[in-house]
């Protein structure tokens, strides 16, 4: 249902007010997706119920094929109204509010060959989104995040992930050490990615078969906690030029996942 909105004061736009206030949205059980690519994916996948959409006329035209079948209201407003309601110069043309699930991952449902990424202390939404995008592209099956890692449903994380946070199952846990220990007891091998000199090179590690595994990643600078590192079956490093300190966490994850994937393909 398309509804033309002429004024910012229209009460139907209230849920879109100050969409940058992530705490408010989370408390209301909602998240916001922005941009044509992400909103299209949200609607097409239909895995998260859409509550409402706000679009400018050009964005409506670009998304008309999916908006016409949507069962939620689609509010159409001029750019000035959209800027006013969001509180900033919003140039992406469309916003969608959707229902936030409590969790999208069941450990019991993981397949025998599952590969997970586990994040500890990675709070930057760009890194969270980038890791989801990388994991989805390189064959990871799910993500595990500790309580101090960023919210995958934060709009910047969703945008950076190109909607991968909406497609890749994940769980946020308050006790990441306990969750990892549980996975280990169920046959998962825990690989800790670290720049430490005593870690084994990824080139060496991928020579061994790894079916059920968890690739554990820590924040840039701090890295993984000692508590998590003690759980690792293998500590893994990516060799870099000795003049360099380390790699960005997203780049490091991409290299490791790609190496593991290629090694498995060669065995098949």
Summarised one tens digit per residue, pLDDT across range 100-147 is 987 667 777 676 668 999 999 999 999 999 999 999 999 999 999 999
DSSP label of 219? B
CA torsion 165-169-174-178 (nearest 10°) is -140
Confidence of residue 268 (pLDDT cuts 50, 70, 90): low
SS3 126: helix
**What average pLDDT score do residues 44-72 get?**
95
Give the Cα separation of 80 and 89 in Å (integer): 8
In CATH, which of 3.40.1280.10, 1.10.3720.10, 2.60.40.1730, 3.40.50.620 is domain 107-267?
3.40.1280.10
The band of 15, judged by pLDDT with boundaries at 50, 70 and 90, is confident
Confidence (pLDDT) at 71 = 94
**pLDDT at 113 (0 to 100):** 65
Rounded to the nearest 10 degrees, the angle between the axes of helix 36-45 and helix 57-67 is 20
CATH of domain 2-99: 3.30.1330.30
Closest to 212 measured CA to CA, from 229, 190, 196, 245: 190
Is 33's pLDDT higher than 90?
Answer: yes
Q: C-alpha distances in angstroms, 70 versus 1, 8, 40, 49, 194?
A: 8, 23, 11, 10, 45
Spatial distance between the Cα atoms of 76 and 94, rounded to a whole number of angstroms: 9
Q: 3-class SS at 204?
A: helix
Q: What is the mean pLDDT of residues 58-63?
A: 96
pTM for the model stands at: 0.91
Q: What is the CB-side half-sphere exposure of residue 8 using CA atoms within 13 A?
A: 11
User: Which residues of the chain are in CATH 3.40.1280.10 domains?
Assistant: 107-267
What average pLDDT score do residues 245-268 get? 86
Tens-digit pLDDT profile for residues 153-180: 998 999 999 999 999 999 888 999 999 9
Compute the mean pLDDT over every residue in the chain, rounded to the nearest whole number. Answer: 90
At 185-223, the pLDDT tens digits run 989 999 999 988 889 999 898 888 777 899 999 998 889
Q: Say whether pLDDT at 20 is over 70.
A: no
- Which of 42-46, 58-62, 123-127, 170-174 bottoms out in mean pLDDT, i.e. has the lowest? 170-174
Residues of the chain with CATH 3.30.1330.30: 2-99
| Residue 97 host element (H or E) | strand 94-99
From 54, 45, 62, select the one nearest 4 (Cα to Cα). Answer: 54
Q: How many CB atoms lie within 10 A of CB 243?
A: 5
In the chain, % of residues over pLDDT 70: 94
């Amino acid at each position: 249902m398309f509804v033309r909105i002429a004024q910012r004061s229209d009460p139907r736009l209230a849920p879109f007010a100050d969409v940058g206030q992530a705490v408010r949205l989370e408390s209301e059980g909602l998240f916001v997706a922005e941009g044509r690519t992400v909103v299209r994916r949200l609607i097409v996948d239909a895995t998260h119920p859409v509550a409402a959409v706000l679009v400018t006329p050009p964005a409506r035209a670009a998304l008309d094929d999916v908006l016409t079948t949507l069962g939620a209201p689609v509010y159409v407003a001029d750019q000035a109204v959209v800027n006013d309601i969001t509180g900033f110069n919003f140039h992406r043309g469309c916003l969608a509010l959707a229902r936030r699930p409590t969790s999208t991952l069941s450990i019991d449902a993981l397949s025998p060959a599952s590969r997970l990424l586990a994040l500890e202390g990675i709070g930057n939404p760009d890194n969270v989104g980038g890791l989801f995008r990388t994991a989805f592209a390189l064959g990871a099956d799910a993500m595990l995040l500790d309580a101090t890692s960023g919210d995958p449903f934060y709009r910047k994380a969703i945008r950076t992930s190109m909607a991968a946070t909406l497609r890749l199952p994940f769980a946020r846990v308050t006790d990441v050490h306990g969750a990892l220990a549980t996975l280990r007891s169920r046959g998962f091998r825990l690989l800790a990615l670290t720049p430490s000199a005593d870690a084994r090179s990824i080139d060496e590690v991928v020579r061994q078969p790894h079916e059920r595994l968890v690739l554990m990643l820590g924040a840039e600078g701090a890295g993984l906690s000692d508590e998590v590192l003690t759980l690792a079956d293998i500590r893994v490093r990516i060799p870099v030029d000795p003049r360099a300190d380390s790699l960005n966490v997203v780049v490091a994850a991409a290299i490791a996942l790609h190496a593991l994937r290629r090694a498995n393909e060669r065995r098949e």
